[in-house]
Amino acid sequence: MPYELPPLPYAYDALEPHYDEQTVRLHHDKHHAGYVKGLNAAEEKLAAARASGDMSSVKALSQLLAFHGSGHVLHTIFWTNMKAGGGGTPSGALAAQIDADFGSFDAFLAQFKAATTSVEGSGWGLLVWNRLTGKLEILQTLNHQHSSQWGSVPLMAVDVWEHAYYLKYQNRRAEWVNTFFASLVNWDDVGARFGGAK
């Protein structure tokens, strides 16, 4: 079964004025859809290689699989990490784990914003639960797949590719990241993902 683009969990204009409808439409319907298409193409070509026994393209296809597969996963998480009227602070088990692993929510937020705003070029700020170490970590992931950490389950993904924010925020990436936490983040979703991952 090919991968499919998941529908947004809200209307295209639901996150206005903090995340504008035009960016959400392009980002979901063109960019995220492109990763789904690329992932399916990589899987089909790998299946064809296995069927024919011709492994000459496997190196390139493996890289495409990592790029598009990671892009699809992170965008799927990103959309559900936001809601209209978001913001605030986490609660329950996630809040306790953040305090245990980062010292305090404020210290966590400062590290997360610093990691995310300083991505060189295109990438993401990620909060992950590492199943192997039993620890929350903040990762600065380049493109979609580089500088990840084995054992990690992404819980929260903040997109800082220019396509994610440039129409509205232009070069003000830090304003986009600040707005994500002030007005968009859905801590209930992040907390539910933490519960599932743990």
The angle at the Cα of 132, spanning 126 to 135, to the nearest 5 degrees, equals 50
- Interaction residues for Mn ion, span 140-159 (CB under 5 A): 159
Distance CA 19, CA 17 (A): 6
What is the size of the binding site for Mn ion (CB under 5 A)? Answer: 3
- Name which of 82, 76, 80, 113 is nearest 19 in CA terms: 82
Residue type at position 89: T
Q: Which residue, chain included where needed, has tokens 């996150």?
A: 15
Taking CB under 5 A as the rule, does residue 68 contact Mn ion?
A: no
Rounded CA gap, 173 and 40, in Å?
31
Counting contacts by CB under 5 A, is residue 164 touching Mn ion? yes
189 binds Mn ion (CB under 5 A): no
Minimum CB–partner distance for residue 74 and Mn ion (Å): 8
CB 89 → Mn ion: shortest distance, Å?
25
Structure tokens at 69: 């597969």
Q: Which stretch binds Mn ion (CB under 5 A): 5-13, 59-67, 104-112, 160-168?
A: 160-168
109 membership: H or E segment, kind and range:
helix 105-117
> In whole angstroms, how close is the CB of 134 to Mn ion at the nearest point?
30
Tell me, residue by residue from 104 to 143, as one string, x for binding to Mn ion by CB under 5 A and - for no binding: ----------------------------------------
Nearest-approach distance from CB 64 to Mn ion, in angstroms: 17
| Maximal C-alpha separation, the chain | 55
Can you give the binding site for Mn ion, defined by CB under 5 A? 159, 161, 164
